[in-house]
Structure 1
Amino acid sequence: MADDDTTDEPVLTYVLVDGENIDATLGTSILGRRPQPEERPRWDRLLAFAKDRWEQDVRGLFFLNATQGMPMPFIQALKALGFEPVPLSGDPDIKVVDVAIQRTLRAIARRDADVMLVSHDGDFLDEVEALLEQDDRRVGLMAFREFRNSGFAALESDGLEMFDLEFDVKAFTSRLPRIRVIPIDEFDPAQFL
């Protein structure tokens, strides 16, 4: 992939986090209420998982809508965890986080880099599919398996790697009240007794 944006640096994995999407899914679909701080993902575990899984350096970009102001304590916490916060603003009718992630995925297509997207949102299907069409590129999706857009399932045969935030990434400190289809090899009756 020789291009103006390509450098001689080692390949790395970009971890792109759609924080609003993960928070909304956790709150609305799993907990049925706004998550408490201790119920939210341990964001640093996403970076550690990506680094361990693909055995290369990672760069975490955490996209957030800051139209109503910058949440400085959260931004400082993200920086301390190793993320680069990407605070965005725009008109209310523009999904600024989605637009920024789409642009970032297209920019990554011009680099020698892998990517793990952290979202359930089908708005990124076209960009993910385009990345998968390129040789020697790994593309992953971290999400709650049962809430990811169904279009992602079709991309698994093209090489999209799927990782469950709770069970694969282990991003939570306690078990979430999820109802999910359990592969028989993972079934542990003790979880129900």
Structure 2
Amino acid sequence: MADRITYLLVDGENIDATLGNSILGRRPHPDERPRWDRLLTFTQETWGQSAKGLFFLNASSGLPMSFVQALRALGYTPVPLSGTAEEKVVDIAIQRTLEALHARTDDVMLVSHDGDFLETVTPLIDGTRRVGLIAFEEFRNAGFQQLVHQGMEFFDLEHDTRAFNAPLPRLRIIPIAEFDPAQFLQ
């Protein structure tokens, strides 16, 4: 469909927390974070259609203007949200966006590891649209595996999207077709 687009929904907090807590063991430096423009380009090229990037931000304690301006320059629409300390405003907003997409025919690519989205993303896997997940495979919620069997496409945040400037210190299972002994003989 010529006018079909992909909505790229980014749960930046989740990606940052996984990167910092589970992979690096510390807060990531700016140069260690994903190159967000590469995710938008990856989405467009992978599914061969335009993509609209929505980057959800918890702005309850203020709006990080330099980051918001950078996101805009990269082609994203920042979605700054606020709420009480008990509210997971980013999760709530992404869930509402996924629900709103039920009434549309557009495709969706979710960037998160969070199982809180399983209930709202599952109905989108209906055979009429493409639904994808971008995450670190070893840290994605186990519930997404069943969705992959139902037709959700999965893309590794580091290896498939090439969103990082340097290799991350991850231990991942390597498909034999991708094994390169030179990586281990350095």
User: Match of 1:70?
Assistant: 63
Q: Deviations over 1:27-47 (max 9, x none)?
A: 010001110111000000011
Q: Deviations over 1:100-148 (max 9, x none)?
A: 000000101111100000000000001111101x231100000001000
User: Match of 2:127?
Assistant: 135
Q: For 1:23 and 1:173, how far apart are their aligned partners in 2?
A: 16
Q: Deviations over 1:137-184 (max 9, x none)?
A: 100000001000000001112100000011001100110000111111
Q: For 2:157 and 2:43, how far apart are their aligned partners in 1?
A: 12
Q: Secondary structure at the match of 1:33?
A: coil
Greater shift in the superposed pair: 8-17 or 22-31: 8-17
Q: For 2:173 and 2:121, how far apart are their aligned partners in 1?
A: 25
- Dislocated runs of 4+, deviation >3 Å: none
User: Match of 1:20?
Assistant: 13
Q: Secondary structure at the match of 2:78?
A: strand
Q: CA deviation at 1:9?
A: 7.4
User: Match of 1:180?
Assistant: 172
User: Match of 1:156?
Assistant: 148
CA separation of 1:9 and 1:189: change in aligned 2, threshold 3 A:
closer
Q: For 1:113 and 1:139, how far apart are their aligned partners in 2?
A: 9
User: Match of 2:104?
Assistant: 111
Q: For 1:192 and 1:31, how far apart are their aligned partners in 2?
A: 20
Q: For 1:108 and 1:175, how far apart are their aligned partners in 2?
A: 34
User: Match of 2:83?
Assistant: 90
Question: Alignment identity in percent?
Answer: 65
TM-score by length of 1: 0.94
RMSD, aligned CA:
1.1
Q: For 1:109 and 1:54, how far apart are their aligned partners in 2?
A: 19
The correspondence of residues 1-40 of structure 1 with structure 2, limited to 5 A, is: 10-40=3-33
TM-score by length of 2: 0.97
